[in-house]
Amino acid sequence: MDTLRGKYIEAVTAAADEAALESVRLAALGKKGEISALMATLGKMEPEARKAAGAQLNVLKDEIDAALRARKTALADAALDERLRAEWLDVTLPGRPRREGTIHPVSQVTDEVTAIFADMGFAVAEGPQIESDWFNFDALNIPPEHPARQEHDTFFMARAEGDDRPPHVLRTHTSPVQIRAMADRGAPIRVIAPGRVYRMDMDQTHTPMFHQVEGLAIDRDISMANLKWVLEEFCRTYFEVAEVELRFRASHFPFTEPSAEVDIRCSWEGGQLKIGQGDSWMEILGSGMVHPKVLSAAGVDPDQWQGFAFGMGIDRIAMLKYGIPDLRAFFESDLRWLRHYGFSALDLPTVFGGLSR
């Protein structure tokens, strides 16, 4: 017993790593190990001799097992110390600058627009981006022969062969949200509908997917004068100028009557846009009084209620305010562009605290 004890305690102490230590354990205590082999011979001994030898072997087994555990802990501690020395870091050195994420201009401007209209009492309404033909066209007084319903303008959803029902479309404007809002809430109502829309178009100032915000106000005595005030207040607050001047030009939209394109007085002096001054005019949105047929389609009595609606491109007004030259860059996922034009995550727009940085 003493010979075995000395042999394996010495081997445990000499083990330089966990692999060598495991070899010692197997040689001593494994199923085919030397001490395990001695334990197997106990059955052939006389009872008194078996009792004495068994006790001695158990003591020896426990001593070697304890030595193995202690050596394993020591090796692990040594490996940790070596790793800590190799991975030493001076925590007093200056750290690497952390690049904060930025808010996309479309998201920022959407929040700015929402804050402005919320201050004027408009709620936000939402609707699906895949719309039925009825909500997207028919309810808005756009007949089947209207050019906007042709395939070169609209993304139509695929239908199963033999399905003769009207197709669904990717909404071409957020006006269907106005129909849904009037149908759900009735009149009076005052909402804006920001969101993505889709049209088959692509150049420097158009993309197949872009963002719009439309507004709707229905009451018993709303007039074009109310529309003019709302749009003037919006433009003054959004562009953060003291005064604005708007010009209404007669136009035609199927869902409003009368309809008007709205221009804003501006200056391009030195290649820089200045709102509210100068001798130039720039178109920024379309508007008008809601057509009686649209009110009827939404379940609102046109003999009792009337109101105005308007719509503008969020991407376009973002380009105007923040000097972004190309609409396509909005959707190219260029981090350099986003770092340049993006906004701090803490730059929350409010009317009373200021909209932009």
In sequence order, what DSSP letters do the residues of 200-260 get, joined into one string? S--BTTB-SEEEEEEEEEEESS--HHHHHHHHHHHHHHHTT-S---EEEEEEEETTEEEEE
Q: Is 307 helix (H, G, I), strand (E, B) or coil?
A: strand
Q: Following CA atoms 167, 169, 171, 172 in sequence, which dihedral angle do they give, to the nearest 10 degrees? A: -100
Q: Is 261 helix (H, G, I), strand (E, B) or coil?
A: strand
Domain ranges in the chain are 2-86, 105-344
Q: Following CA atoms 267, 272, 276, 279 in sequence, which dihedral angle do they give, to the nearest 10 degrees? A: 0
Distance CA 317, CA 171 (A): 21
Q: Is 31 helix (H, G, I), strand (E, B) or coil?
A: coil
Angstrom CA distances, 187 to 50, 194, 216, 225, 320, stand at 100, 20, 11, 20, 34
CB 234 within 8 Å of CB 117: yes
Pairing assessment for the beta strands 256-267 and 130-132 based on DSSP bridges: unpaired
In sequence order, what DSSP letters do the residues of 128-143 get, joined into one string? -SEEEHHHHTGGGT--
Angstrom CA distances, 78 to 20, 70, 88, 123, 324, stand at 15, 12, 15, 66, 60
| Cβ-Cβ contacts under 8 Å for 173 (sequence gap 6 or more) | 136, 197, 212, 214, 311
| Cβ-Cβ contacts under 8 Å for 33 (sequence gap 6 or more) | 25, 26, 27
Could you report the per-residue pLDDT of 45-92, keeping only the tens digit for each? 888 887 888 888 888 888 888 888 898 899 888 888 888 888 777 778
pLDDT tens, the chain, 357 aa long = 778 788 888 888 888 888 888 888 888 888 788 878 887 787 778 888 878 888 888 888 888 888 888 988 998 888 888 888 887 777 787 777 766 788 899 999 999 999 999 999 999 999 999 999 899 999 999 888 877 666 657 888 887 777 777 788 899 999 999 999 999 999 999 999 999 999 877 666 677 888 999 999 999 999 999 999 999 999 999 998 889 999 999 999 999 999 999 999 999 887 788 888 888 999 999 999 999 999 999 999 999 999 999 999 999 999 999 888 888 888 888 888 888 888 887 778 888 767 765
What end-to-end distance do the CA atoms of the chain give, in Å? 84
Q: CB 67: neighbour CB atoms within 10 A?
A: 22
Distance CA 21, CA 33 (A): 14
pTM: 0.68
Q: Is 166 helix (H, G, I), strand (E, B) or coil?
A: coil
Q: Which residues sit opposite 313 in a β-bridge?
A: 212
Could you report the per-residue pLDDT of 92-110, keeping only the tens digit for each? 877 777 667 888 999 999 9
Phi-psi category of 331—alpha, beta or left, where left has phi over 0 and alpha has psi -120 to 50?
Answer: alpha
CB 195 within 8 Å of CB 209: no
Question: Of 210, 72, 184, 188, whose CA–CA distance to 126 is shortest?
Answer: 184
- In CATH terms, the superfamily for domain 105-344 is Bira Bifunctional Protein; Domain 2 (3.30.930.10)
Q: How many CA atoms lie within 13 A of 151 on its CB side?
A: 4
